[in-house]
Structure 1
């Protein structure tokens, strides 16, 4: 199938490279970005993408293009979902759909009404370690789920200029973890309590956000969840999950480039963590795109639906409200 990519920033380039190398079901015809330049054209040529444009309409109005990848800035996601749905294109969209819940619903409904596929880019579901934990839970190996813990820490904070337009740590960073706890629990969150501090970069606080946060969650099935985030882990990306149940516990360690251990008289040394997200989740980015291609080709449901994109936004809204008001917030208050 011929596809178009809207957005030629970092994640757009990651998906373009992965499709070209690992997803034979797809062929990229056009990549669009309002700031496309010679560097964009050089990148496109490297991966045999024939067309580069500054106008997304060149993709949306092309009858040959069957599916669209929306990799543009978050404030454009819901708009492009709606326009792509009107054009009868299947849609892969990076998270989140939008910060505005009304726009999230409008986008999801547009895809449903048009009868097109919609997959949201929560790539961590496709990570080999996190998926192994999920599979053990689904197979009943730990019994009834009682506690879920997720630790997610970035190597360095983003620029303050980005923080100002990101929606905040709960929408920009923890939203992946909101999706992960829901994925692992197999149950919806009913209540959120959030706590946050500015411990990494005072500029983040001046921009109205926090850089260190802990959220506790209550689920419909009685389980309890805990998520911790930090914008700066000096040792690299740190991503771990644990599900504790009535019959056991499933957990993964932080993924690192290699697990070799050096032991000498001076001590024991382990491998260092990944320093950039694109390396940490290389396999997951490929797997999610392969899953999207298969859903379109086989006319099956996408593995991360529009509704899957909605619930983490609800949880982020509840966490933001909880942080500002200093109290637990029920999902029903923001729904």
Structure 2
């Protein structure tokens, strides 16, 4: 299928060929017939992509500070690699999609194949959208009219926050697409509506809809006009739908308001607010969040958990439905806003000149004969009779920033990369010469030429995918953790016993050059030692999927396991008992800040401090080892200091966490045979120790393995 994307690095807007998304549970797959180009929002993304690096930095000063902090801790090259990798991930454009449901995901009952629906899908021939972001289209509403559903919901949510009453005077600043729709909905609400815009065409269009529309560029003083229009009272409320960096808009909006007036920001403007403008009139100000309640809430959007209507009357989906109802009843007339209708293949006639003053709403028309392919071939290399042929499942940031660059260095043979949406996998496939991009990972499992599967998906998918790969006779490398439930681990152990394949887990720290150096210095006599390992992990927002115990398993299972494996590697022994304590009055809910104590078979002890409340300016990782009146101190995989060792005192290098060595050994082992790069019983011991840490926290006791 074809999809429009924005290259943030080069600035190009591209029509890319990508595989069709695979429908997920709780979602529907839609074949697009029309989509609406939101010129204001999409112009910002296009302009950002075309800007040089200095201008990009100026537009995102908060990101610049993060980059500078990372340079201090990780060094210049790793930081630059991370920045360029992020910029190398294109953005899909568009969020106003109309089409026909062609596949219904598990758990969806409110939609059927053949339903006409509107959604926030991208400009793509097929889109997979969660059910709470999809609304049925009334029979008397055309596909072109329904394409205005989402922009209508954005305007409607601004109105709901303003809460206007019949007869109030409301100002709309900015009569672009969202502004015109907002103004018309306000009229339907019984308000006196005044609109301001510097575009004569938009002002004229607003006047045709019965809006009192003014072009300030013709000499009208907006504040004085409002004083005269309202007999000195001022506007009851202002909705700002403009896109402008100036601080003047917010100041003028406050001056136009009556005492205790309300201002709602829907657009993007400068927000250097004068206290006096707001203080004297006690004006309230609020920013509207997109389509309505539920936006950016994974429980609502991704998991399909609706808000009870008795408590949240207007969710984003209900706002969609309200807009469609308004169009159906001719209360909202959107067809006059359409200024051009363009075939998807001719998309550059829109994106090549997004500053066209004559454009308000551009409609993209899609080919009814679009093919539903789940695999797109990128090149036609032959992999017959080769060993170590790889299929990658998962195309997230870690895959693009770490896995693929390292596999490229060792010239690994990668036949597939699978991603749920198709776009990220396709972009990576083009960049790293991967032969096929797919949205159906079963294609990898069915291909007899693939003998090694790399799994880098969300954590809850690791164990099921490992089991599937083992059952079809393929070796597996899975990013940590191996499993997030003990029953899953038991199933993997049972399947592995009878399998003739290797299972490896991405505990890369043991392959880091400084870890290898530490192991060599400590010797192989397995004498007891004490280890203190600290991960200054940094805070992650509470709503990120990693914290969801059913999806991510939490950060102890997902990240601290790295250091359990590292301690096991350095001690040369296995964990026999675990105890964990966490910070706070309710520690079970704060595993981001925890200390794990490990006892080993050979008498070694280890303490792993996993903290998220430290400064980002401090080293992210630090390991101290005490053994036989000697001490090693490793700082952030860049420096190693030794005390009490003959002939060695310190070493330093660029930051290297062992990924290259790990993948080099993995591919070499797969080609030439041999044991897993990490003994399987060690992987199981580390995973069990991770489970035991959480069990210890709940019980308040040591847990024996």
Which residue, 687, 698, 701 being the options, matches 1:313?
Answer: 687
Aligned to 2:633: 251
State whether structure 2 residue 537 is matched by structure 1 residue 154: yes
Which string of whole-angstrom CA distances, capped at 9 and with x for unpartnered residues, describes residues 162-218 of structure 1? Answer: 21232223212211111111111112222222111159xxxxx79933321112222
CA contact 2:579–2:701 (8 Å) conserved in 1: yes
Farther-moved stretch of structure 1 (215-224 vs 104-113): 104-113
Identify which of 528, 532, 535 aligns with 1:145. Answer: 528
Which residue of the partner structure matches residue 216 of structure 1? Answer: 597
SS in 1 for 2:531: strand
What corresponds to 2:571 in structure 1? 185
The answer to whether structure 1 residue 43 and structure 2 residue 417 are counterparts is no
Question: Which of 667, 675, 697 matches 1:293?
Answer: 667
2:507 equivalent among 115, 122, 145: 122
Q: Which has the higher helix share?
A: 1
Deviations 1:262-297 (A, max 9, x none): xxxxxxxxxxxxxxxxx954x511111101011112
Write the distance in 1 (CA, Å) between the matches of 2:631 and 2:600.
18
Q: Tell whether the 8 Å contact from 1:108 to 1:306 is kept in structure 2 after alignment.
A: no
Q: For structure 1, list consecutive stretches of 5 or more residues without a partner in the other structure.
A: 200-204, 258-278
Matched, 1:134 2:519: yes
The partner residue of 1:23 within 386, 399, 410 is 410
3-state SS, counterpart of residue 544 of structure 2:
helix
**RMSD in angstroms over aligned alpha carbons?**
2.5
Query: Distance between the aligned counterparts of 1:129 and 1:86, measured in 2?
Result: 37
The one-character-per-residue Cα deviations of 1:212-266 (angstroms, maximum 9, x if unpaired) are 1112222222222111111243215521222212252233223349xxxxxxxxx
Aligned match of 2:321: none
Is contact 1:99-1:171 (8 Å) kept?
yes
Contact 1:130 1:241 in 2 (8 A): no
Partner of 2:450: 65
Structure 2 counterpart of 1:106, from 483, 487, 491: 491
Deviation at 1:158, TM superposition (A): 5.0
| SS of match in other structure, 1:312 | helix
| Aligned partner of residue 594 in structure 2, secondary structure | strand
Deviates more, 1:215-224 or 1:48-57: 215-224
Q: Which is worse superposed, 230-239 or 170-179?
A: 230-239
CA distances 1:131-184 after superposition (whole Å, capped 9, x unpaired)? 2112222355xx822312211112443553321232223212211111111111
Question: Is contact 2:480–2:559 with CA below 8 Å preserved after alignment?
Answer: no
Deviation at 1:94, TM superposition (A): 1.0
| Structure 2 CA distance for partners of 1:180 and 1:78, relative to 1, 3 Å | same
Question: Rg larger in 1 or in 2?
Answer: 2
TM-score, with structure 2 as normaliser: 0.40
Distance in 2, Cα, partners of 1:28 & 1:237: 35
- Among 399, 413, 438, the residue aligned to 1:12: 399
Q: Deviations over 1:105-133 (max 9, x none)?
A: 32244244220122111011111112211
Q: Partners in 1 of 2:481 and 2:502 — Cα distance?
A: 17
Match of 2:561?
175
> Partner residue of 1:264?
none
Of 126-135 and 287-296, the range deviating more from structure 2:
126-135
Cα deviation, residue 89, structure 1? 1.5
Secondary structure (helix, strand or coil) at the match of 2:701 reads: coil
Q: 1:207 to 1:190 in 2, by over 3 A?
A: closer
Distance 1:105 1:237, change over 3 A: farther
Q: Does the residue aligned with 2:451 lie in a helix, a strand or coil?
A: strand
Q: Does the CA contact (< 8 Å) of 1:117 and 1:301 recur in 2? A: yes
Shift, 1:5, TM fit: 0.2
Measure, in 1, the Cα distance between the counterparts of 2:438 and 2:578: 43
Structure 2 residues not aligned, in runs of 5+: 1-387, 640-653
Task: Report the secondary structure of 1:157's partner residue.
Answer: coil
Higher RCO by CA contacts (8 Å cutoff, separation 6 or greater): 1
Which ranges of 4 or more aligned residues in structure 1 deviate by more than 3 Å? Answer: none
Whether the 8 Å contact between 1:179 and 1:312 is mirrored in structure 2 is yes
The question of whether the paired residues in 2 share the 8 Å contact of 1:119 and 1:302 is answered with yes
